[in-house]
């Protein structure tokens, strides 16, 4: 993201009631527990040796090691971005341990061989990694800390020709695909965190859908940060070849911790001619305690490249967790007639801060993009929508529709909107709508006078507010997201 100073719409909350529903908001974080499992962890600190050590432990080929080292040397020169509307103490990158893998004996071949403690953790989280999930048609590549420990339904996918594996495996088994696409959407030098990620990424997911193939199931990966003080540097690369389709679901939870945990993931999507990628995220990392202590820093770079003509990339995100979110899933609309979409619900409460939005870069002719952003702030929650729509000179007939709504709860929360619009082709059609509203006392009283509890009323109004986004989620995920939102906002209203 470049920091382009532009028109900023600021919407401060001017409510009258104060803190009367705080007890309801303070419903504890449900997923706060720590699994006791031995970790093979590198000592804290980062230098060239550490980068080499990570690469060596993963048994990577020479080219991969070189790629990391080159990223590392460039990262050393890069400044931390400071333009986002978030505040946190400087991060000591030498205090972080850059590798942590659950110790495994010979590597599990099936779920039976997976460490039962791990499975128990997943079950506590309600992650249905086992047969039920398989029956539901979802293949899960579960990432526990940094190394994939279980993969299901690989076979069905294999028969369809779809490659769905950890990025480490892909480096070993499909080096030519990885070399061809890795870093082509998000180069290591893109920003500070992508530089860091490129140097030290430990694992992540690789998906390749061959030409004219519709992926036979929704692909799903659950990430979970576990070992204390271990940064998570996930790397995801999804390539949809010509005329293919894939839907990918990503969901996250993390156990309660004292120290801040850095998460700097990179996700790259590539859609070739007539291909479509749908990428959905439900993010529920530990947001910190009510004073903001101990939450996850979620500094993620997600970008999709509609490289082919008539290709489509759609991002849907529901962000309820993390202490700080810095995230702008974007689309580069390179191919003619390509389509980019961004649907987002972001919730900040307690001391959570989020600076999130998207970038739609229109390069091809007749490209179109849709942005629907719903921000909800409660208690001391701080939120900024930051979105860039750029229409390049050659992008004749480009269209964008942006809708950006903020809902404020209580009198201490705030929402800000920073829409950047750059149009260099006069044929572009641009629409921008923005609203800021509050859950009003009238609305709450109306619901309560019909017999609904205050919590139910809030959850109903908030879910109504987010409906357009939830409609974009796969059914199963939509239900989960709705539930998550209700839990997150229990009683957050005043």
Q: Judged by CB under 8 A, which stretch of 52-60, 106-114, 317-325, 452-460 contacts other proteins?
A: 452-460
CB nearer to other proteins: give 100 or 459: 459
Q: Which of 5, 79, 107, 451 binds other proteins (CB under 8 A)?
A: 451
Among 209, 313, 388, 447, binds other proteins (CB under 8 A): 447
275 within 8 A of 239, measured Cβ to Cβ: no
> Do β-strands 234-240 and 261-263 pair in parallel, antiparallel, or remain unpaired?
unpaired
How far is residue 188's CA from residue 195's CA, in Å, rounded to a whole number? 5
**Interaction between residue 184 and other proteins (CB under 8 A):** no
Verify binding: residue 450, other proteins, rule CB under 8 A: yes
DSSP label at 232?
B
Among 38, 456, 479, 483, binds other proteins (CB under 8 A): 456
Does residue 106 belong to the site contacting other proteins (CB under 8 A)?
Answer: no
The piece of 174-182, 198-206, 417-425, 459-467 that touches other proteins (CB under 8 A) is: 459-467
Verify binding: residue 212, other proteins, rule CB under 8 A: no
Contact between 465 and other proteins by CB under 8 A: the answer reads yes
Residue 379 C-beta: closest distance to other proteins, Å: 20
Q: Least distance from C-beta 451 to other proteins, angstroms?
A: 4
CA dist 433 → 46, 232, 347 (Å): 45, 36, 20
The distance from CA 26 to its chain's CA centroid, rounded to whole angstroms, is 24
**Can you read off the two tokens belonging to residue 425?**
């082709």
| Binding test (CB under 8 A) with other proteins, winner from 28, 79, 449, 475 | 449
Angle at 55 between CA 49 and CA 56, to 5 degrees: 85
Q: Which is nearer to other proteins, 137 or 464 (CB)?
A: 464
* CB closer to other proteins, 20 vs 94: 20
Using CB under 8 A, which of the segments 57-65, 336-344, 464-472, 484-492 binds other proteins? Answer: 464-472
- Give least dist CB 375 to other proteins, A: 15
Per rule CB under 8 A, count of chain residues that contact other proteins? 22
Task: Rule CB under 8 A: say whether 453 interacts with other proteins.
Answer: yes
Distance CA 118, CA 144 (A): 8
Question: For the chain, how are helix, strand and coil distributed in percent, rounded to 5?
Answer: 25, 35, 40
Classify each residue of 397-412 as buried b or exposed e, where b means 16 or more C-beta atoms within 10 Å of its C-beta. Answer: bbbbebbbbbbbbbbb
Cα–Cα distance between 266 and 330 in angstroms, integer? 12
CB-wise, 455 or 476, nearer to other proteins?
455
Max distance between CA atoms of the chain, in angstroms, equals 69
Mapped onto helix, strand or coil, the DSSP state of residue 260 is coil
What's the rounded Cα separation, in Å, for the pair 299 and 319?
13
Between residue 423 and residue 442, which ones bind other proteins under the rule CB under 8 A? Answer: 440-442
Instruction: Verify binding: residue 415, other proteins, rule CB under 8 A.
Output: no
Query: Among 149, 461, 478, 484, which residue interacts with other proteins (rule: CB under 8 A)?
Result: 461
Nearest to other proteins of 126, 464 (CB atom): 464
User: Which of residues 136, 424, 446, 483 is near other proteins by CB under 8 A?
Assistant: 446
Comparing CB distances to other proteins, the nearer of 16 and 62 is 16
- Is 493 near other proteins (CB under 8 A)? no
The answer to whether residue 389 forms part of the interface with other proteins (CB under 8 A) is no
Binding part of the chain for other proteins, among 68-76, 81-89, 247-255, 446-454 by CB under 8 A, reads 446-454
- The smaller minimum CB distance to other proteins, of residues 296 and 469, is found at 469
In angstroms, what is the minimal distance from the CB of 489 to other proteins? 15
Residue 75: DSSP 8-state = H
- By beta-carbon proximity to other proteins, the closer residue of 239 and 444 is 444
Cα–Cα distance list, 72 to 80, 109, 357, 461, 493 (Å): 14, 34, 27, 47, 46
Residue 138, C-beta contacts closer than 8 angstroms, at least 6 positions apart: 153, 217, 218, 219, 220, 249, 476
| 445 counts as binding other proteins under rule CB under 8 A | yes
Q: Does 237 bind other proteins (CB under 8 A)?
A: no
Q: How many CB atoms lie within 10 A of CB 277?
A: 26
Q: Decide if residue 24 touches other proteins (CB under 8 A).
A: no
Measured from the CB of residue 421, what is the shortest distance to other proteins in angstroms? 26
Q: Compute the least distance from the CB of residue 462 to other proteins, in Å.
A: 9
Instruction: Figure out which of the listed residues 24, 463, 474, 487 binds other proteins, where binding follows CB under 8 A.
Output: 463
Residue in 125, 139, 98 with CA at minimum distance from that of residue 234:
98
Site for other proteins in 244-273 (CB under 8 A): none
**CA dihedral for 147, 283, 289, 404, sign (positive or negative):** positive
Using CB under 8 A, pick the residue from 65, 179, 443, 486 that binds other proteins. 443
Counting Cβ atoms within 10 Å, is residue 443 exposed (0-12), middle (13-18) or buried (19+)? Answer: middle
Q: Which residue has the tokens 């028969």?
A: 159
Which region among 176-184, 216-224, 237-245, 445-453 touches other proteins (by CB under 8 A)?
445-453
Q: 247-257 burial by CB neighbour count: b if 16+ within 10 A, else e?
A: bbbbbbbbbeb
**Which residues form the interface with other proteins (CB under 8 A)?**
440-443, 445-454, 456, 460-461, 463-467
């Amino acid at each position: 993201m470049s920091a382009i100073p532009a028109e900023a719409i600021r919407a401060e909350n001017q409510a009258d009631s104060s803190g009367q529903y705080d007890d309801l908001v303070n419903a504890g974080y449900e997923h706060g527990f720590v699994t006791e499992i031995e970790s093979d962890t590198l000592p804290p600190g980062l230098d060239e040796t550490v980068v080499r050590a990570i690469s060596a432990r993963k048994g990577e080929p020479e080219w991969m090691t070189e790629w990391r080292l080159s990223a590392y040397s460039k990262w050393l020169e890069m400044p931390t971005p400071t333009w986002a509307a978030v505040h946190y103490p400087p991060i000591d990158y030498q205090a972080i341990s850059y590798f942590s893998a659950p110790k495994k004996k010979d590597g599990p071949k099936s779920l039976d061989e997976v460490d039962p403690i791990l499975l128990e953790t997943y079950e506590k989280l309600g992650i249905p990694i086992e047969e039920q999930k398989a029956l539901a048609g979802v293949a899960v590549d579960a990432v526990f800390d940094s190394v994939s420990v279980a993969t299901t339904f690989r076979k069905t996918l294999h028969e369809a020709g779809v490659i769905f594996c950890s990025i480490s495996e892909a480096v070993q088994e499909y080096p030519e695909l990885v070399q061809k696409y890795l870093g082509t959407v998000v180069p290591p030098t893109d920003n500070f965190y992508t530089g860091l990620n490129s140097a030290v990424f430990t694992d992540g997911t690789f998906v390749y859908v061959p030409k004219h193939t519709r992926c036979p199931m929704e692909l799903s990966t659950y990430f979970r940060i576990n070992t204390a003080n271990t940064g998570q540097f996930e790397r995801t690369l999804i390539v949809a070849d010509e005329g293919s389709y894939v839907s990918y679901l990503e969901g996250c939870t993390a156990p309660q911790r004292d120290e801040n945990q850095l998460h700097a993931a990179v996700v790259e999507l590539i859609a070739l001619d007539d291909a479509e990628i749908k990428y959905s995220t439900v993010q529920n990392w530990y947001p910190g305690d009510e004073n903001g202590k101990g939450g996850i820093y979620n500094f993620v770079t997600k970008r999709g490249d509609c490289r082919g003509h008539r290709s489509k990339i759609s991002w849907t995100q529901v962000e309820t967790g993390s202490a700080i979110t810095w995230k702008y899933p974007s689309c580069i609309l390179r191919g003619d007639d390509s389509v980019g979409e961004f649907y987002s619900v972001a919730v900040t409460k307690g001391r959570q801060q989020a600076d999130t939005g998207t970038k739609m870069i229109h390069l091809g002719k007749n490209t179109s993009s849709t942005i629907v952003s719903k921000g909800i702030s409660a208690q001391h929650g701080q939120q900024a929508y930051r979105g860039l729509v750029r229409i390049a000179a050659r992008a004749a007939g480009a269209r964008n529709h942006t809708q950006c709504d903020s809902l404020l709860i209580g009198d201490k929360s705030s929402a800000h909107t920073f829409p950047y619009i750059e149009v260099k082709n006069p044929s572009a059609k641009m629409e921008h709508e923005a609203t800021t509203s509050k859950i009003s006392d009238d609305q709450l009283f109306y619901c309560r006078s019909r017999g609904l509890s205050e919590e139910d009323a809030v959850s109903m109004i908030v879910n109504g507010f987010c409906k357009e986004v939830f409609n974009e989620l796969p059914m199963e995920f939509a239900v989960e997201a709705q539930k998550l939102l209700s839990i997150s906002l229990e009683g957050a209203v005043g």
